[in-house]
Amino acid sequence: MMLILATITLTAVSCGTKKETPKEEAPKMLVLYYSQTGNTKAVAEEIATKLGADIEEITMVDSYDSDFQATITRCMQEREKGVVPDINPVAANIADYDVIFLGFPVWFGTYAPPVQKFLLGTDLSGKKIVPFCTFGSGGLESSVKDLVQAEPNAEVLSGYGVRAARLEAMPYEVDQFLKANGFLEGEFVQLEEFPAQHEVSETEAAVFDAAVDGYPMLHAKPKTVAKRDIPSGVEYLFTAEDLPREDNPKMPPAGELQVYVTVVEGAVPVFTKVIR
C-alpha cells in the first residue's frame, strides 16, 4: 500500500510540474559616437535615452580645431599623408555588447577619421552595427558601404542620417527608425515606394530650386522626378545632373545625383539628403 501511495504521489508531482521556457535575453546595446559640433551627440543621446542603452563618446588625443575651415584643412592634409589621428581608449568593453549604434559626422563622403581609427583597432565580428550620422548634404549610404568593407563579419544595418540643418526633425525620425527596425515597440509609418519617375515639370523644377537654394555645395539641374505622400506633406525624389560648382569651378561634376526633397504644407521646400 505504501509503495502504491508513493508512486501516485510521484506521478502527481511529475504531471503538475510545468517546464519553464527560458526567456530570450534582450540584446545589450551600446551607443558609441564621435561628435565635433554637438550635432551627432544630440542624435546619440536621443537614441540612448529612447533605448535605455549605454552611451560613450569617442575622443581624440589631439582634437580637431573648432574652426570648420581649419578642421577641413587638417583633415585634407592627413588624408594626403595617409594619417589617421589617434583616439583615446574606449572605456566600454565592446565584447559585452550585441548591438553597436555607431555615430559620426560625414566628412569627405564617409565617417570622420576618429571613427575610422576606432574601426582599425576593433573587431566587431558577430555584432550588429547600426550607423547613424549627421551631414551637410548626404553620405549615409557611402558610409555604410565603407563600414561593410571595414567590418565584413558584422551585420551592418542601413542606418539613419539627418542634415545638420534639419536637426529639429531628428527626435521624430529617430523614433520612427527605431520602431521600424524593431528596437522599440509601437506604431510607425510605413511609406509607400516611389512610383516610376517622369520628366520634371516647371512647377516641380521650382520646388527643386527652392529646396537647394542657398546651399553652395549643391549645384544641379533636375531631370526626372517621382513623388509620394508622407504624413506631413509630400516627398519628392529627383534625379538631377550635377553641374560645375559656382564656388569651385575646378571641381569636376559628380555626374548624376538623387536628391530627396520634402514639402510640408505651408512651409518652404527643403532637401533632406543627396546620394552621389
Residue 116: per-residue pLDDT? 98
Domain check: are 123 and 252 in the same one? no
What pLDDT shows up at residue 1?
37
User: What's the pLDDT at 65?
Assistant: 86
Q: How wide is the angle at C-alpha 135 spanned by C-alphas 131 and 137, nearest 5°?
A: 125
Q: pLDDT tens digit string along 26-57?
A: 899 999 999 999 999 999 999 999 999 999 99
The predicted model gives 82-98 an average pLDDT of: 97
Sign of CA dihedral 205, 209, 211, 212: positive
Q: What is the mean pLDDT of residues 65-73?
A: 88
Predicted pLDDT of residue 66: 81
Residue 271, SS3 per DSSP: strand
> Residue 130 pLDDT > 80, yes or no?
yes
CATH number, domain containing residue 76: 3.40.50.360
What are the φ/ψ torsions at residue 145 (nearest 5 degrees)?
A: -60, -45
160 belongs to a structural domain: yes
Mean pLDDT of the region 12-39 = 74
How would you classify the pairing of strands 54-57 and 29-33? parallel
Same domain, 37 and 105: yes
Mean pLDDT of 97-110: 97
pLDDT at 189: 96
151 and 37 belong to one structural domain: yes
Are 109 and 243 contained in the same domain? no
Instruction: Report yes or no on 266 lying in a domain.
Output: yes
> Does residue 19 lie within any of the structural domains?
no
In a domain, 190, yes or no: no
pTM: 0.88
**What pLDDT score was predicted for residue 266?**
86
CA distance 225 to 208: 10
Q: Tell me what percent of the residues of the chain surpass a pLDDT of 70.
A: 88
Same structural domain for residues 172 and 263? no
Q: Are residues 174 and 209 in the same domain?
A: no
- Residue 168 sits in the same domain as residue 228: no
Mean predicted lDDT score pLDDT of the chain: 91
Beta bridge partners of 199: 224
Tell me which residue range forms the domain holding 216: 198-275
Residue 131 and residue 241 in one domain? no
pLDDT level of residue 76 (50, 70, 90 thresholds)? very high
The answer to whether residue 220 is domain-embedded is yes
Whether residue 21 lies inside any domain: the answer is no
Asked if pLDDT for residue 15 goes beyond 80, the answer is no
Domain end: 154, 180, 206, which one? 180
- Which amino acid, residue 187? E
- Whether 208 and 173 map to the same domain: the answer is no
∠ CA 243-244-247, nearest 5°, is 130
Q: Per the domain annotation, does 185 fall within a domain? A: no
Q: Tens of pLDDT along 160-214?
A: 999 999 999 999 999 999 999 999 999 999 999 999 999 999 999 999 999 999 9
**8 is a domain residue:** no
How many domains would you assign to the chain?
2
